[in-house]
Chain A
Amino acid sequence: MGKEVAIIGGGVAGLEAANQLATLGYNVIIFEKKGQPGGNAAKWDRLFPNRRHTSEVVNSLKSRLNGNPSIMLSTAISSVTKSGNRFVLATKGKNFEADAILLATGFELFPAEKKEEYGYGIYENVITSAELEEMFAKHGKPVMKNGSTPSKIAFIHCVGSRDEKVNKPYCSKVCCVTAVKQAIEVKEAIPAAEVYSLYMDLRMFGPGYEDLYKEAQQIGINFIRGRLSEASELDGGRVQIKTEDTLSSRPLKMSVDMVVLMVGMSPALGTIELISGLGLKPNKDGFVAVADYHLNPIGTGVEGVFVAGACSGPSNITDSVNAARSAAIEIHKYLSK
């Protein structure tokens, strides 16, 4: 065969699709703008629902990166154009050609400082869910700015999700179960800690997720049905948070040592510029629009251009792997015509 497939993005979806396409006999090259493969997953300590180390999954996905598929790290694609049946991908300095393109540019975490009333970047013990993962990887537990161990922690759901005020009206899908996973991990690392979860709805849609929620209840995570309205800093770096306890219909305030903001998924920067060169448009949430949500969720409006993973909308790792495999089959069908 010897046909060439270019994959833009070396995260979970890009790596999985590359492995499948190489198995099918195609020459596959991944362009990754960061210095290492693995995307957002590479920065995550452990995964829901079974708290497996993320490195296990990422290492497995990148274990075949020795020849075919190959990967070009720290290489951003500035534009993609179609000429005839071939595609030209421009990078700084050099152009590459391919017979098919897979968009796998993933997502960016919602910039929490945009919710100024939550105090991220202003108060020292307001952190994001991603920073908590880093703390778990580094210290095995959350650590306050002054180095002490927090004894009261609140998780705030839906930061940059389901929020029209920051133009993120959609649900980011994975944060509910991530919060429950992280709450359990905090309780395991610091058994005496009081752990709270402030939620609007708990969307436990996947296998094992509801079990995880029950486990959290069993080990004493406190669930409060209310959305954070604002946070303010107290002496000593503690944070006061306000919500409505909607189940008792009364305003509620509490002070905690640490606030963890469950940041949602935003479209990856640069993806829209990239696809606009091909005449493709984003969907209403800013992700890559797919050809048919039910029947062709990995196709785009341009023949030969496919999409997989979180660049078409919030996805978990299983979603990305499934989409990547579907994309590999569709690309195979397209290139076998």
Chain B
Amino acid sequence: MVDFGYAPLEIKIHDLDKANLTLGEWIAERDETFKHCIACGSCTATCTAGKFTAFSFREMCHSIRRGELMEAITESEKCMLCGKCILACPRNVNTRNIVKLVRKANQNFRV
């Protein structure tokens, strides 16, 4: 960064040059519906767990796509696996399976 009057807020910036996108690739290899999300929010709107905690499946997926793996893993632990979001998704994303894959990834290779 050149010398400039303001310090960049590193923590707020998505730096896709450095981001770790491997979790997203690992999930998509096992369930390609991960790639089909259009971020409409139907899953979060209908979420049973989301009524009681700040869980958002859409945000979890987005964190993965931006390489924020710890956020995604923390988020995945809030899901009750009820599967209601599968019924709401207009792109047939296999939401429940993707939450399970995030949890599995966490156990397998400790991202």
Q: Who on chain B is nearest to A168 by CB? A: B90
B83 at the interface (CB under 8 A from A): no
**Do the beta carbons of B59 and A249 come within 8 Å of each other?**
yes
Annotate B54-70 by CB proximity to A: 1 below 8 A, 0 otherwise.
10101100000000000
B23 at the interface (CB under 8 A from A): no
Question: Given that A244-B56, A246-B58, A251-B50 are contacting pairs, would A229 and B90 also be in contact in the complex, using a CB cutoff of 8 Å?
Answer: no
Q: Separation in Å of the B45 CB from the closest CB of chain A?
A: 4
Annotate B38-58 by CB proximity to A: 1 below 8 A, 0 otherwise.
111111111100110010101
B30 at the interface (CB under 8 A from A): no
Q: Who on chain B is nearest to A163 by CB? A: B90
**Do the beta carbons of B44 and A251 come within 8 Å of each other?**
yes
A243 at the interface (CB under 8 A from B): yes
Q: Interface residues of B, CB < 8 Å — how many?
A: 22
Inter-chain contacts of A249 with B (CB < 8 A): 44, 56, 58-59
**Do the beta carbons of A242 and B90 come within 8 Å of each other?**
no
Q: Who on chain B is nearest to A227 by CB? A: B40
**Do the beta carbons of A226 and B41 come within 8 Å of each other?**
yes
**Contact of A227 (CB < 8 Å), options: B42, B50, B54, B92:** B42
A226 to B47 alpha-carbon distance, docked (Å): 14
Query: Which of A242, A244, A246, A249 has the most chain B CB atoms closer than 10 A to its own CB?
Result: A244
What would be 10 A-B contacts, judged by CB atoms less than 8 Å apart? A200-B38, A226-B42, A227-B41, A227-B45, A227-B90, A230-B45, A230-B46, A243-B45, A251-B45, A252-B45
